[in-house]
Amino acid sequence: MKNITVQELKQKMNNDEQFVLIDVREPYEHQEFNIGGQLIPMSSLPNAIADLADSKDKEVILYCRSGSRSGMAQQFLQQNGFKNVWNLTGGMLAWADAFGTSK
């Protein structure tokens, strides 16, 4: 399992690096605070696989509230042929602790 810290993700964002950022939280969580990831709730991920097919060979970074759901999503995507999937350690809780509630 590949993990990325909030500091590493922030640096990638600041450097305008290319990656796919996916928020696997629920819509209400995404509305409260997000860092720009595409919202695909964990429960909707199996139905979104076809839509994500173009990203199978790209770097994909997943996040949730604490890193737990995104870890499960990471395993699911890897089992479905995604090769470069990262889980944001600590999720949005760690982001808020490190940077507050801003991108």
Residue 57 has which token pair? 């060979």
- The amino acid at 97: D
Q: Hey, which residues are catalytic here?
A: 64
The β-bridge relationship of strands 84-88 and 59-63 is parallel
Residue 5: CB atoms within 10 A of its CB come to: 14
